[in-house]
Structure formats: structure tokens, C-alpha cells
A and B are shown apart, each in its own frame.
Chain A
Amino acid sequence: MKVLVPVKRVIDYNVKVRVKADNSGVELANVKMAMNPFDEIAVEQALRLKEAGGAEEVIVVSIGPAQNQETIRTGLAMGADRGIHIEASHDIEPLAVAKLLKAVVERENPGLVLVGKQAIDDDCNQTGQMLAALLGWAQGTFVSALDVAGDKAKIVREVDGGLEHLEIKMPAIVSVDLRLNEPRYASLPNIMKAKKKPLDSLTVDDLGVDIKPRLTIVKVEEPAAREAGIKVADVKELVEKLKNEAKVI
């Protein structure tokens, strides 16, 4: 079985984002970018499946500008076998991403697609579910344990009330949550090796998908800043303030 892992290039999670002065979006120039942390977990899971003999090939795919090839190389340095880059602008919507991924799935016929549960920039939490819908496949979302056995997979999902165990039919889309695994770091020799691994480039036209945006961003603003309050000297003062000033207890 092949495993396909879509990886997104996002602003590094340590960076404090700034809204552009013209309110059209957030500042991306000269900002440190990285692979979406959830996607690192997805790549790691694909590699573990392969190492355990459950997959033959791990393919990472990224949709976005030319720099997304760096994100693909990160996946290859972790151990993925080959990459596919689909050239598009950075602001492509999840529905369009899902349609492009569907076209890739139809070309590659993977038995499993591992996506991140959400991208930490737009926080949409949509792409995997949309791809599952378009393919008519089962979806396992927010997954913290995965066990593939033949034409079924046992999954554990992180839900509001705790954990939920499901069995899903393969092929399937699985969206990964934080506690599925701890992703490996790429070693220097593997980073060097990754440079020679195959990386195909495709265009949106090659795949024949309409990616016209459906939503219009009217404006992007900074939220109202929260003012820092005061330091209290001790627990007594804290309780007194909560009772008499804030009146919340």
C-alpha cells in the first residue's frame, strides 16, 4: 500500500503573527515558515507504518508556491520516498486543496491518506473531511491511535468527552491529532539524501481542477489586546480582589 501525506507550509508556531497595515491578511514577508506541526505527526505515522511493513511507499504532497518544495524536502529528510509539488498561490481554500488532492489520489491510488487535523494558520479543520467526501471514503478524524489491519483500520479519536474507538473501512482518510506520536528529527545525512529523492512538479491545469476561491476575505484585523492587570502580594489579597473587585467568586 502507498501512503499519501499532504503537508502544508505555515508560519512557524513560535512566531507571533502580525496583521498587515492594509488589513488584507497577515505579514508573510521575512517570516520563518515550517511544516504544519500536525503534518509532521502525519509523516511520522506514515513512516512508522512503512517501517512495520504495513506500507511500501510514503509520498508527501504540498500545494502552494515554489517555496513549498522546502516543506516537501523536510518530509523527504524525515524519510518519505518521494514528493509531489502542486504550484498554486498560498491562499488556496480547503475545498480547492481537497479537489487537487483527490486528483492526486486518483493518479497514485494510495490505500491511506494521512492529513493533519488542522493547519495552525487558518485553523480551518476541513481538508481531510472534504477529501473523504469527494472520494466517498471513510474518515477518521482527530486520531490519537491507528492500527491498520487488512481492509479495516482501528482508530481512537480525541473527542470532546474523552476518547472514541471506531473501525473504518480502507482506503480511508485519517486526520491526526497531537498525541498520535512524537515526530522524529531529520538527521544531517538524511537531509543530504533527501536532496536526491524524486520530487515531481504539477500545475493546477495538469490536474484539471477549478480552484477559484469561494470566499472573499473582507478584512483581517488584530483582536482587541488584553491589558495586563496587577500583581497581588499573596493569596489573601487575591481572594479579596476576586470577591470584592472582580466579583467573580
Chain B
Amino acid sequence: MSILVFCDHDNGQFGAATLNAVSAAQKIGGDIHLLVAGDASGKIAAQAAAVSGLAKVLVADGAEYAHGLAENLAPLICNLASQYSHILAPATTTGKNIMPRVAALLDVMQISDIIKVDDANTFQRPIYAGNALSTVRSDEAIKIITVRSTAFEAAAAEGGSAAIETISNNGDSGLSFYVKSELSSSERPELTSAPIVISGGRGMQDGANFAMLEKVADKLGAAVGASRAAVDAGFVPNDYQVGQTGKVVAPDLYVAVGISGAIQHLAGMKDSKVIVAINKDDEAPIFQVADFGLVADLFEAVPELEKELG
């Protein structure tokens, strides 16, 4: 049995969530191959080969793979499919975009966002914003799976020495064209892999007030997140959103500031090890999941917190 893992990267940086998908593949068991498709992605391929536990790294190089376009990548993956029992990708926006297209081309059902491997055919996944956990079995010849990265430890990025093999291209579908990206640049750690996350909600009142959270974040080495209400109101960009329809995080410490705790928000953070809530409403539902709740006005509590942290 061989397993193919799709490597999420942006041609410059190896996507950390790929390591969690590799570790899910290790739980299934078998030879693991990593597919690096990109444009001049030699550096990524070299990084991939160093990941521990891989038997092989497959490299497809071409301009048509530079931007993760599903219309170009799905046929490439499908061409390889006959050699594998499972194809996995991290449930990042790239993985979520491509894999259902692969599944439909192969005429199999995808298993989305798995959080546990029971055996090679049986997987656990959250439904209803994590309010229920569904165990599903697939008896299809090939399993197409996306992996929730917070549910699996990252495989070691070093120590491996997989062989690199170049595979042939599929060409450009001519269906979609990359124009440009507007990426949020930040010196802080990436939201989904940061050990500490501090998030602000509607209670922050405006975008400028997020500077208060950033100061605390800088003292703690934390990433900054937000509720949907804060994103919709334009306080912060879309990639800050934590929740059912945003990012899922599970840091050691999650601090929710001025966030009420709607189920859609909880879906994205309730697996955090320690949850702190700062809210002026002592009945806010966020306190039902918080390990440490502070009923206070955030405009006093947050600056004080920054000071206390020294």
C-alpha cells in the first residue's frame, strides 16, 4: 500500500500543514510519497526530501503549477492515482480547492477534514461545527482525504533523505489564470501553528484598537486572530478569522477578547489546551468553555495585561 501526500507550498515556503498530513499518512501506514508541484520548486523539493518518513518525493515542475490552480493540479494528481491506496492533502484553502476536483474525476467520495485515523478505511471527522463527530468508512479502491492539521502532530521536518523523482507535466487547462495575491504580511507566527493566539471580536470596536492585542501578542510570541464579526466589520483582514468557516486553531493558549462565544467561533478554537476569555458580560457563552474567565472591560484589562507581562 502506498500513500500520496499533496505538498502545500507557495513556491517560496513549504506549507507547515503538509507535515501534519504526512503524520496522518503515517497513522494509516505504508510507503509515503510526497508530491511537490510548482514552478522552479527545487528548493521546496529539497526541503520535502528532508522530511522524515518519506519513501519518495515526486516533482512536477512547470509554470502551470505556480499558483495551485485546481484545474491544472487535479489532472496531474489523477494521473498518479492508480499507484496509490490513499491520496491526502492538508485541509488548507489549497487542499480544499483541489481535492474534491480530484475525487470527482476519479468518481470517489472525498472524506473531508479528518481528525483521527481508526484504520486504513475508517476515519473520524467533525460535522455541525464540531458539535458532532462522525466516523465514516470508505470501501472505495482509493481514498481521497483532507486532513485537519491541528488534529495531528507535525512529522519531523528534518532527518529524512527521500529520493527525488521528476514526473511529467500535464499542461495548462486554459480554464483559469492567476492575476495577483494580496497577502497579509506579519512578523508574528502563523495563526494555525502558533503556540499562543490572542483574538479580538466585535467588542474591540474598531481596527485601530487591535494594536492593544498586538502589543500583548508581541510580548507572548502570539498570533492575532479575530471573530467573524470583527472581520465583517473591517477591523482586520479575512485571514484572521477563526471559526467554522475560517481557520481552525488549537494552540496551547487561546485568549478571546470581546468575543461572545458563538458556536461558529467555538468550532475554530475549542480544542485549544487553555482558553482565556475577557468579556464584560459575565453571561457570555465564551465563559462556558474558558478555563480562566475575566469579567472586565477589555479597554482596561488588555493594557493592564500587557503591563503585567513585563
Contact = CB atoms under 8 A, between A and B. Distances in A.
Given A125-B113, A126-B100, A178-B228, 5 more contacts: A26-B132, A178-B245, A219-B134, A231-B282, A231-B295
A223 B127 contact: no
Nearest to B105: A133
B183 to A, nearest CB: 4
Given A94-B100, A129-B100, A242 B292 contact: yes
Interface of B: 10, 67, 69-71, 74, 92-94, 96-105, 107-113, 122, 126-140, 173-184, 192, 196, 220, 228, 231-232, 237-239, 244-245, 247, 252-253, 263-264, 270, 273-276, 282, 287-296, 301, 304-305, 308-309
A179 B228 CA distance: 10
Contacts of B309: 239, 249
A140 B308 CA distance: 47
B145 to A, nearest CB: 11
Which applies to chain B's interface (DSSP): helix, strand, loop or mixed? mixed
Contact of B109 (A132, A144, A214, A226): A214
A232 interface: yes
A124 B110 contact: yes
A92 to B, nearest CB: 11
A222 B270 contact: no
A124 to B, nearest CB: 5
Nearest first, the 7 A-B pairs at minimum CB distance are A229-B291, A129-B100, A130-B104, A133-B104, A138-B175, A126-B100, A214-B109
Contacts of B112: 123-126
Nearest to B135: A218
A185 interface: no
A85 to B, nearest CB: 23
Given A162-B239, A230-B292, A220 B71 contact: no
B110 A126 contact: yes
A13 B102 CA distance: 30
Contacts of A205: none
Interface string A92-130: 011100100000000000000000011011111111111
Nearest to A124: B112
B253 A154 contact: no
A161 interface: yes
A121 B287 CA distance: 25
B266 to A, nearest CB: 9
A239 B293 contact: no
A231 B287 contact: yes
Contacts of A179: 231-232, 238
A129 B70 contact: yes
A234 interface: yes
A228 B290 CA distance: 6
Interface stretch (A65-73, A163-171, A195-203): A163-171
Given A161-B239, A249-B253, A123 B122 contact: no
Point out which of B96, B135, B232, B287 has the most chain A C-beta atoms below 10 A from its C-beta.
B96
A156 to B, nearest CB: 8
Interface string A130-146: 11111001111110100
13 contacts: A19-B132, A130-B100, A133-B103, A138-B175, A139-B101, A159-B93, A164-B178, A178-B232, A215-B136, A215-B137, A216-B137, A238-B305, A248-B273
